[in-house]
Structure 1
């Protein structure tokens, strides 16, 4: 499908996550793709007082320090692509006992950031700006009125208001953000429909993935997998009680004692304590570097995504499914709204019994492990590129422009 890409524009990207994060994130990938045809200013997440105190003794080399001597305020990443590291230290305000007090300090935070953005815009001679806010309804809610722009776009990629930190003030600010945005774009159909409650100009632009490392053959076997008996039923991702259904994992392990269930990813307190002590065929291997994940997936026999179905997970785009499929692996996953698009290429489950049945089906049917099936799964995943996602953003943008000019 051909797309109409946004080209030759000045774009400000207001990021929710820190540029220097060790974890890959959508907005950074989108920035590089947009910078192919536009001038881009990426506004890094500003430090706040709590985070500075929390990280005061953190010696991670990539950890950004408070502004001081040698602080790199405006960096050029590549031609026509700049990174703005705000000097402002923001107030930590989620403790506020009242909405009025929260709004007062939040406007101060927004204004501090806007002043720095406007100075950078002037320095770079940006004009007719497209401003894209990355899911930040706290620090970004007043930016439309403070930063002159031609179009203000809100990008939603997570259902943040269900998380404890955002529960108090998040819902109202997210609703306001939807209402004031010229358009909303989402990385899943579920989140696009959710946004349409407040802004009818809401579009699903899908999700891109970097899958080149998952299509490589003959990857080395990680050391901590070497002693684990095959066949291996594996999962890579956050091992947390908010996202994973421990009952499904336990049921797979008890029903298929001849299999090893391997979970690769950082664990929360619940899984740290639980540790499946009575089940010898469940292995928690802990967090790994992103570059190591393809090695683990390559040596899995079947990949699973035993999600809990809740407001946090139901609409999230499952990037790991693309990674599994790009590796050619058969995938068994929980049925959610976001998983519907993967239905023809995965084995979807409504309960723990379905998981065991689907796994047995795969092991008993050699055709599902054939080269033809591997390529069918792989080709589907490889269509989910950032170029395609940014193309869908362009299609939505120009559709809205046409409507605006017609009125």
Structure 2
């Protein structure tokens, strides 16, 4: 089987930050399967964006074919990538997210992809789109099977508020054109059926790279002098964090150090966090370094919003990473935590949250076979589903 994957994130971003997102983990696993070839259609970009964000990133891959704005790279024997660098810098600056919608439907890109399919002998292939903005590409490239990975509900993200009409259009196209969808939470399944009526949705939850988060670790320099116990959060600072809830917990536990690691996606959310003396933000970390931080947390938390209007139907990757590191995990309901209550502590009351933080019980509530939650098994679930069609 040959597979075309349209990830949400730019391959340069993945190289810069590490394989830490769902799409990156999927591709990492696809690249290890010798019985299939995978073609990545990278996110369109411009020279300006590369200069501003990824100037140190270089693709040291073999060039198989090149034409105008497009290049076909060979990453390894069974992994290829189409990269497109458009000259339309002003258009990208003005149109922002709509620019990506436009470029994924670019006639030149579509023709180049079809040429590449002939060059690398993709006579019969399956398309997996993990990108809400790439619906025109999926719609216009022929394949025997079309799948959409609806890993989060993008209609709930404030950052896409101005292009929400286009996101609804994308979901509706995916519902009509795809043989089936996959998603990472039961909550998403019911919500997507109700909103967009796709043919079929299958649950494939997130997972964990077990080897990265188990075993010994070094103590990172910037965490060495932080007073213990350390309560850690590793993830994006976004609208998903329940700031009033978190602020109450911070104030009620001055004897605990709260260490946050990850990208700040929403600056307004970060500004609202009460910067108490026991709050430490250590910035974003490469995914190769990040496990050392998790292993050096004493307790791990996921203080996310619980209101339906604010949740995006996520299945928290960090929960599995915390568990793989054998950490005590406390979080609010939703985001897959309530389904793992055998192993994690779940409460929506900040006072009770503090009580659990300070309880003598350490580590996972019950013994877990974390191998059953690996990315390798998740990808095999997907391939099994594809083969059944």
Same fold per superposition (TM over 0.5): yes
| Residues 112-163 of structure 1 deviation map (CA, whole Å, 9 limit, x = unaligned) | 3211110101111211211111133x3323533x222111111111222223
Equivalent positions of 1:234-249 (< 5 A) are 234-240=232-238, 242-249=239-246
Instruction: Please state how far the C-alpha of 1:34 moved relative to its aligned partner.
Output: 3.0
Corresponding residue of 1:16:
8
The 1-side partners of 2:290 and 2:54 are apart by 25
Equivalent positions of 1:319-398 (< 5 A) are 319-336=317-334, 338-360=336-358, 363-365=359-361, 368-369=362-363, 373=364, 376-377=367-368, 379=369, 381-398=370-387
> Contact 1:46/1:89 (CA < 8 Å) preserved in 2?
no
- 3-state DSSP class of the match of 2:136? coil
Corresponding residue of 1:405:
none
Corresponding residue of 2:62:
none
Give ranges in structure 2 of 5+ residues lacking alignment.
Answer: 60-64
Measured on the aligned residues, the alpha-carbon RMSD in Å equals: 3.1
Corresponding residue of 2:141:
147
- 3-state DSSP class of the match of 2:259? strand
The 1-side partners of 2:22 and 2:186 are apart by 16
For normalisation by structure 1, the TM-score amounts to 0.80
| Cα distance, 1:78–1:322 mapped onto 2, change above 3 Å | same
The 1-side partners of 2:271 and 2:80 are apart by 44
Count of residue pairs brought into register by the alignment:
367
The 1-side partners of 2:285 and 2:297 are apart by 16
For normalisation by structure 2, the TM-score amounts to 0.83
- 3-state DSSP class of the match of 1:376? coil
Corresponding residue of 1:28:
24
- 3-state DSSP class of the match of 2:209? coil
Give ranges in structure 1 of 5+ residues lacking alignment.
Answer: 1-8, 97-101, 402-407
Equivalent positions of 1:1-400 (< 5 A) are 9-21=1-13, 22-23=16-17, 24=19, 25-35=21-31, 36=33, 37-47=35-45, 52-58=47-53, 60-62=55-57, 73-86=71-84, 88=86, 92=91, 106=102, 109-136=105-132, 138-141=133-136, 143-144=138-139, 146-163=140-157, 164-165=159-160, 166-197=163-194, 198-217=197-216, 219-240=217-238, 242-267=239-264, 268-270=266-268, 273-274=271-272, 276-277=274-275, 279-309=276-306, 313-336=311-334, 338-360=336-358, 363-365=359-361, 368-369=362-363, 373=364, 376-377=367-368, 379=369, 381-399=370-388
Instruction: Please state how far the C-alpha of 1:383 moved relative to its aligned partner.
Output: 1.8
> Contact 2:241/2:304 (CA < 8 Å) preserved in 1?
yes
The 2-side partners of 1:93 and 1:57 are apart by 13
The 2-side partners of 1:62 and 1:273 are apart by 31
Instruction: Please state how far the C-alpha of 1:69 moved relative to its aligned partner.
Output: 11
The 1-side partners of 2:109 and 2:69 are apart by 17
| Cα distance, 1:152–1:68 mapped onto 2, change above 3 Å | closer
Instruction: Please state how far the C-alpha of 1:344 moved relative to its aligned partner.
Output: 0.9
- 3-state DSSP class of the match of 1:291? coil
